[in-house]
Amino acid sequence: MDTDETRSVLVTGGRGFVGRAVAKLLQREGYEVVSLDASPIPTSAAGPWNDREVRCDLTDAEALLRVFEARHIRGIIHLAAILPTAAQRDPVRATQVNVDGSLNLLEQARRFGVGRMVFGSSLSVYGTRAAEQAVSETDQAAPEDLYGASKLYVEQLGAAYRQQFGLEFVSLRIGRVVGSGARSVSSAWRSEIFEFLGTRNATEIAVPYVGSERILLLHIDDVATMLVALVHAACPAHAIYNAVCESVVVDDLKRELERLNPNLGVKLGETHALGNPRRLDASRFRQEFGIQPLPIFEQLTRALHP
């Protein structure tokens, strides 16, 4: 959809961790960005596209209609969602936002002739898999929680809109995103492993998994690059892609962090990474788009020694 007439992109969840990175990258690449989020717009916000910040709850169909009426939106990156921990606490709200809100967005995309909608899905659609199994897009989905189930259902809604109305709907299934600035309460370690790298004081990071566990990680900048690549592509060959992630053994992550900075201590937990695969086949995306992220340990080294 890369033409002069199709460079206005709506980013839902635009003030979230991934949304902020995506919006910045889109703007650097010359797109007009409309950043939509249900959270209040920060009064301290500053930047060349802040007049494009919009506060809107996707469950409010009338408010969402007004957003589309007021702006010429040609592409969408849909990231807004109630995340797994909050979804478990409030399944009603999670269903309203993750499913009903997505349906509202699809309807406006259809009504206003949006060229392409890129959906930030999740590897949780696959459910738990054996440690030796590298999961590809052709493997059957089997989500084990409300969050994963809602992601899968929105993918199916997108497929229906693609078939019935010709809306280009493309899904990127994303693993655990790490990097500075997540502001997460339930998974603070994903940012702390970068933010605490340079500490001069004894500091402990709590990672909840057992040392033998494998987790699929990707850096915030890389997931933004992948999402924007899907918007930018003339014609993606597939409707679903696994994001290019790295399978990291938790014990190895602990050792590398403590090696990089002896002031850091990593305390491991006793849980297993259930609900997600441990290994991934992302060759579909890698071969089509030529994106190969730096290994996570190299990302950490560069963060410590920029």
Per-residue pLDDT of the chain (306 residues), as tens digits, is 544 444 799 999 999 999 999 999 999 999 999 999 998 887 655 454 455 899 999 999 999 999 999 999 999 999 999 999 999 999 999 999 999 999 999 999 999 999 999 999 999 999 999 999 999 999 999 999 999 999 999 999 999 999 999 999 999 999 999 999 988 777 999 999 999 999 999 999 999 999 999 999 999 999 999 999 999 999 999 999 999 999 999 999 999 999 999 999 999 999 999 999 999 999 999 999 999 999 999 999 999 988
pLDDT confidence of residue 49: 44
Question: What pLDDT sits at residue 185?
Answer: 75
What pLDDT does 1 receive?
A: 53
Judge whether 252 and 215 are in contact, CB under 8 Å.
no
Q: Give the pLDDT confidence score for residue 4 in this predicted structure.
A: 42
CATH number of 178-216+245-274+294-304: 3.90.25.10
What is the structure's pLDDT at 138? 97
Residue-level pLDDT at 40: 86
Residues labelled catalytic: 147
Every domain range in the chain assigned CATH 3.90.25.10: 178-216+245-274+294-304
Task: Look up the CATH superfamily of 4-176+219-242.
Answer: NAD(P)-binding Rossmann-like Domain (3.40.50.720)
| pLDDT at residue 44, as a whole number | 58
- Reported for 97-101, long-range contacts at CB under 8 A and 24+ positions apart, including other chains, are 97/38, 97/57, 97/58, 97/59, 98/147, 98/150, 98/151, 98/154, 99/150, 99/153, 99/154, 100/58, 100/59, 101/57, 101/58, 101/59
- Residue ranges, comma separated, of all CATH 3.40.50.720 domains in the chain are 4-176+219-242
77/231 Cα distance (integer angstroms): 8
